[in-house]
Amino acid sequence: MSDFNSLILEINKYADPKKAKNYNWFFKTGPGQYGEGDRFLGINVPTEHQLSKKYSGLTLNGIHQLLQSEFHEQRVIGLMILKLQYIKADKKDKKKFYNFYLAHTDRVNNWDLVDISAPHIVGDFLLEKDRSLLYQFAKSQSLWERRIAIISTFTFIRKNKFRDALAISEILLSDKQDLIHKAVGWMLKEVGKKSPETLTGFLDSNFKHMPRTALRYSIEKFSPPLRAYYLKLR
C-alpha cells in the first residue's frame, strides 16, 4: 500500500462527524460565505500535525492529490507536509516547492490554509528576492491570493523588514472582505511589536480610511489610552 493510501486510511480513522459539523459553522461554509462548499471530516489540529510529520516524505504527487481533496483537513495536511519538505530542502528544491505552491493557490482556499503555509513558503522564499508577486496577489480577484500577499509579509516583519507589509496593507485598506481586514490588522500589530513608531506612523497617515476591524486588530497591544485615542479619531 502506498504512503498516500495509508495516510488517507489514517485520516479517515480520526474523522469525527460531530466536530465536522462544528467546523462547518466555524469556517463559514454556508451559501455566500467565504468557505462555501468546503467539507470537513472533523479532525483536530494536533492530529493533523501528527499525521503530517508521520508522512512528511510523501511525494509531490501525493501532496497534489491531498490538495485536490474536497475535504479541508486533507488540504491542511498536504500543506503541512509541503511546508516540512520546504523547510528541510536545499536552495534548488526550495524553488521547486515554492513553484509547486504557486501552482496550487486555488487549493489554498481558506484562511487557516493560507496562514499555516504562506509565511513559511512564499515569505521565506522571497525574503531576499524580488517581491513583485505579492503586489500582484494583493490586487488579485482571489480572496485567498490577497490573504497570501499580506500574510507572507510576516516572515519579513520577523526580520525587521516592514516596507512590504506596510505597502501591501495600504493596498488592501479598501478591500471589501473582513478576512483581509483582520489579516492586515494582524500584520500591522506584528509590525508594532517590533517597531511601535513604525506602526504609529502608518496609522497617523491611514487611520481615517482604515476599516475599523483592521484598526482594532492593529492597536491591540497599545496602552488603553492610546487605543482609545485612535478609536475616537476613527
In the 3-class helix/strand/coil scheme, how is 113-174 assigned residue by residue?
HHHHHHHHHHHHHCCCCCCHHHHHHHCCCCHHHHHHHHHCHHHHHHCCCCHHHHHHHHHHCC
Specify the pLDDT at position 232: 86
Query: What pLDDT is recorded for position 2?
Result: 74
Q: 126-234 maps to which CATH number?
A: 1.25.10.90
* pLDDT tens digits, one per residue of 118-137: 999 999 999 999 999 999 99
Quick one: what percent of the chain has pLDDT higher than 70?
Answer: 99
Is the Cβ–Cβ distance between 73 and 84 less than 8 Å?
Answer: no
CATH class entry, domain 1-107: mainly alpha
Q: How far apart are CA 111 and CA 164, in angstroms?
A: 20
Inter-helix orientation angle 196-206/178-194, to 10° = 140
> Residue type at 205?
S
For residue 39, give the DSSP letter: B
Please give the average pLDDT of every successive group of 10 residues along the chain, which has 234 residues.
91 97 94 94 98 98 98 98 98 96 98 98 98 98 98 98 98 97 98 98 93 96 95 81
How far is the C-alpha of 138 from the C-alpha of 132, rounded, in Å?
10
Residue ranges per structural domain of the chain: 1-107, 126-234
d(CA 77, CA 12): 13
Same CATH topology for 1-107 and 126-234: the answer is yes
C-alpha closest to that of 150 among 129, 179, 130: 179
Number of other CB atoms surrounding residue 197 within 10 Å? 8
- Name the residue type at position 170: E
DSSP-derived secondary structure letter, 33:
S
**Predicted pLDDT of residue 130:** 98
Nearest one of 63, 182, 173 to 121, comparing CA atoms: 63
Predicted confidence at residue 1, as pLDDT, reads 62
